[in-house]
Amino acid sequence: MTIWFRPVIQASLQIFNMNNPSQSFVKFEKIDKSYDGEVLVVKNLNLDIAKGEFVTMLGPSGSGKTTTLMMLAGFETPTNGEIFLDTKPISKIPPYEREIGMVFQNYALFPHMTVEENLSFPLEVRKIPKPETKEKVQKALDMVELGNFGTRFPAQLSGGQQQRVALARALVFEPRLVLMDEPLGALDKNLREQMQYEIKHIHDRIGITVVYVTHDQSEALTMSNRIAVFNDGVVQQLSTPDILYEKPENSFVAKFIGENNTLNGVVADVNGDTCTVELDNGFGKVKALKVNVNDKGDKTQLSIRPERVTIDSTNPESNNFEGKIQELIYLGDHIRARLNVCGNDEFIVKVPNEGSFSHKEGDLLNLSWNPDDVRALDI
Amino acid sequence: MPIGDMLFRSVDDSQINGVFPNTFNEYKKWDKEKDELPPEEVYKALFEELAYGEKIQIGRALTRMNYSKSGWKSLIKTTSREIKKAVKKDELPNNYKEFLITANEKWADPTFWYAMGQMVNDATPIYYWNALDRTYDQDQNVVMQDEKRRIYIKTWIKTLKISVYVTIFCLILGFPVAHLLANLPLRYSNLLMIFVLLPFWTSLLVRTTAWIVMLQQNGVINGILVWLGILSDDGRLQLVYNETGTLIAMTQILLPFMILPLYSVMRVIPKSHMRAAQNLGAKPATAFWKVYLPQTIPGMSAGGLLVFVLAIGYFITPELVGGKDGKLIGHWIAYHLKTTLNWGLCAALGAILLGVMLIFYWLYNKIVGIDNIKLG
């Protein structure tokens, strides 16, 4: 392991010190960004990233995630607020002095240079002596397993190989931080999954801080320490993948991450952490966790994950419903059933394939779920 | 085909050979070491061919003969008259040599006979030598023309020089415009594109004449400079009817040919490349020099070659604004084509032009590589 492969342990320890703001390595403070002076693309963004962390900004297109990344890289300036890197404000520092590596969406490899020349470019502009440059380039190429491809031109490489070269180029000059802007978007599915693991492993090995942008939630869940879910220029929730999936704080996150069943209703009663929701159109009452509602009378959207719905068994207290099977899809390990439940035609249930499921389309199923698995969110 | 015809004409000497076949045949037998003048048979053949040949064909041949040495035309004409008289009276001479020398004493001048030596073959390099200001001396050596008759080499150099300058100026002016075209928001770039293409929709003559209006001594540019006090009223610049005028007008007229290929290449260079270069630590200037510029080489080469090739054979603009100094080789080609009807010389000039172009093309291929050319 070379000097620039920073110790992994130290990096991962710092993730746990996140509560202390002085520990944050990258800090977005009250960032607003507007291109035209009217519409805010990014609104009041506050984000802390610890050293060595792999943070993903996840969101649909136009949600402001790429703009945020560009502000960090220095290609856009925040309209309001300040970005700190290693406690120093960087808004006034031009991109070429920020020492931030970046992997671009379409790699942005220079087509007139060989792979080696591409990799030595950042070292040459830093006036690093030739032998040292050569050594570092070779090391970086070995890291992405392209040791023998140095003399090729980018056009002679496959998409996956180009991707690795781009990654190696972003790392070769030992930047303080690496940004990745949907780097796997152009690859096919298998290669994309393979590269996800590869990037993750490289991150684990050298412990560099990574800020990753994607609109692919499975990619985000696979790779990240933490995920910031963007929508409409606002971070909806910033958390670890498991918490995002299991405890979404609002209906956007619940819908955007993973599969999600929704039922709309009005809060009828609040009891500490739980509440009772009267479903619209008189379909009955649901006991749910009170997450993003305040009081009686609030409109709410209930969120239930498909795999948390049980069939053919009843819950002693409440939350027992019937659903009519609309469609059954056999997926090997489980059967995916689309039901009509309480007026929702798109209610999905995943039935584990234990060999005992004998219902047909049109049958009625008894459904139930635990109140802890239902989250009353905003609408 | 037209090129083949041109190349053929530039060396073709068969017309005159068709008029004097026997004369030339006999001429070839003449041993110049031994006899000062050609043998009797040559005189005889010449006499017969002048006497019974077609008048129009002889006339054409005369023009050709005059290119080798001036004086041929009058010599043959006076001789012909004498021959016709003799033939009419049915008095064929016993000694043709004597007869001809009596008709015109120049037939005793060996230099004319030596000059004939240039014509006896079907192919001749004389047009090429002429196109390079060279001619044959009495001993059939290739020598420079008289000082005052040397025009072509000077014009060749001027043509090349102006073409190179025009190409360079087009590159310097066209590069930023193409860059703007490729990078401005669509609304502005469309407008700019119209400005670039507008001259294309205007007649070449109109544009050239417009430059005369702009550049002449009482023209717009001089007027503004005087008005601004930069020039005094009697110090007006001579901007037109010289090389400067040719240079300015040609640069403007050929500019779109540089901008368009450059633009089409620049358009497909992803903007992320400049960003990537800066992200990797290169200052904007370095990023431009090391990353952007090398990627525009295909466009620069395509534009450069296009402008150069067009410039080297340009005719109308230098003809109109060039005055006496600013005329390029195209002028002489047109002159010989239309005025002197010396098509052989025309073809030779054209062939050399073609050759120069091919040399540049070859050089370019050596240095840049022709695969690198890209028009879009």
pLDDT in tens, B106-152: 888 888 887 887 777 777 888 888 888 887 776 677 777 777 777 88
Residue B287 with chain A: CB contacts under 8 Å: 96
User: What pairs with residue A45 in β-bridges?
Assistant: A31
Region A89-104: mean pLDDT is 91
Pairing of strands A310-311, A299-304: unpaired
- One-character DSSP codes across A26-66: EEEEEEEEESSSSSEEEEEEEEEEETT-EEEEE--TTSSHH
Spatial separation of the C-alpha atoms in residues A129 and A125, rounded to whole Å: 11
Whether residue B86 has pLDDT greater than 90: no
- Given a cut of 60, whether residue B85 has pLDDT beyond it is yes
Q: Do B294 and A112 touch (CB under 8 A)?
A: yes
| The pLDDT of residue A316 is above 80 | no
Q: Residue B207 phi/psi, 5° resolution?
A: -65, -40
Which residues of chain B from 256 to 285 reach within 8 Å of chain A, CB to CB? Answer: 270, 272-273, 275-284
Complete edge-to-edge strand list for the sheet that includes strand A24-34? A40-50, A24-34, A80-85, A88-89
Subunit contact B281:A122, Cβ cutoff 8 A: yes
Q: What are the start-end ranges of the H helices in A40-180?
A: 65-73, 115-124, 130-143, 159-172
B257 within 8 A of B169, measured Cβ to Cβ = no
Cβ-based interface (< 8 Å): residues of A facing B: 73-75, 94-102, 104-106, 108, 110-112, 121-122, 125-126, 169, 173
Residue B185 touches chain A, beta carbons under 8 Å:
no
Cβ-based contacts of A96 with chain B (< 8 Å): 278-284, 287
* Mean pLDDT, residues A59-72 taken together: 90
Domain ranges of chain B: 15-123, 152-372
Is the pLDDT score of B244 beyond 80?
yes
Condensed to tens digits (0 to 9), the pLDDT of residues B247-260 reads 888 999 899 999 98
Poorest-confidence range of A49-63, A147-161, A202-216, B339-353? B339-353
Pairing outcome for strands A54-58 and A209-214: parallel
B307-347 residue pLDDT tens: 998 898 888 888 888 877 777 888 888 888 888 888 888 88
From the list A75, A97, A98, the residue facing B275 with the nearest CB is A75
pLDDT at B10 over 50: yes
A200-239 per-position pLDDT tens digit: 998 998 889 999 999 888 889 889 999 999 998 889 999 9
CA geometry: angle B235, B241, B243, nearest 5 deg: 95
pLDDT of residue B376: 52
Structure tokens at B202: 């205007």
Which residues of B fall within a CB distance of 8 Å from A104? 272, 275-276
pLDDT value at position A123? 93
Say whether B280 and A100 touch across the interface (CB within 8 A).
no
Q: What is the pLDDT of residue A162?
A: 92
Per-residue confidence (pLDDT) for residue A7, from 0 to 100: 41
Q: Which residues of A touch B294 (CB under 8 A)?
A: 112
CA dihedral B165, B171, B176, B179 (to 10 degrees): 170
- pLDDT score of B138: 67
**End-to-end Cα spacing for chain A:** 51
In this structure, which amino acid lies at residue A159?
G
Query: What per-residue confidence (pLDDT) applies to B137?
Result: 72
Q: Which helix (H) or strand (E) holds A310?
A: strand A310-311
Of the pLDDT bands very low, low, confident and very high (cuts 50, 70, 90), residue A144 is confident
Pick from A36, A103, A110 the residue to mutate for testing the B interface (most B CBs within 10 Å): A110
- What the block records as the tokens of A180 is 């990745």
Give me A129's structure tokens: 């002596």
Q: Which residue of A has its CA nearest to B286?
A: A125
| Whether A106 and B281 lie within 8 Å, measured CB to CB | no
- Residues B49, B22 contacting (CB under 8 angstroms): yes
CATH superfamily of B152-372: MetI-like (1.10.3720.10)
- If pLDDT is split at 50, 70 and 90, which confidence band does B180 have? very high
Average pLDDT, chain B: 84
Contact A285, A300 (CB under 8 A): no
Helix, strand, coil fractions of chain B, as percent rounded to 5:
75, 0, 25
Distance CA B142, CA B363 (A): 29
pLDDT > 70? residue A18: no
CB B120 within 8 A of CB B27: yes
To test the contact with chain A by mutation, choose from B280, B283, B295, B372 the residue with the greatest count of A C-beta atoms within 10 A, namely B280
Percent of chain A with pLDDT over 90: 31
Q: Whose CA is closest to B354, among B320, B323, B329?
A: B329
- Residue A16, pLDDT > 60, answer no
- Predicted pLDDT at B223: 87
**Residues in B touching A169 (Cβ below 8 Å):** 280
pLDDT of residue A53: 92
Does A112 sit within 8 Å of B279, measured CB to CB? no
At residue A156 the predicted structure's pLDDT band, cuts being 50, 70 and 90, is very high
Please check whether residue A73 is in contact with residue A53, taking contact to mean a CB–CB distance below 8 angstroms.
Answer: no
pLDDT digits (tens, 9 = 90+) for A166-175: 999 999 998 9
Instruction: Judge: B275–A104 Cβ closer than 8 Å, yes or no.
Output: yes
Mean pLDDT, to the nearest integer, of B7-11? 81
Confirm whether the ipTM is greater than 0.95: no
Please, what sign has the CA dihedral across residues B187, B189, B195, B201?
A: negative
Distance CA A162, CA A154 (A): 6
Average pLDDT over residues A47-63: 90
CA atoms within 13 A on the CB side of A98: 31
Q: Residue A75: its chain B contacts at CB < 8 A?
A: 275, 278
pLDDT tens-digit map of B275-292: 999 999 999 999 999 999
pLDDT bucket at B373, cuts 50 / 70 / 90 = low
**Would you state the pLDDT for residue B102?**
83
Contact between B315 and B330 (Cβ < 8 Å): yes
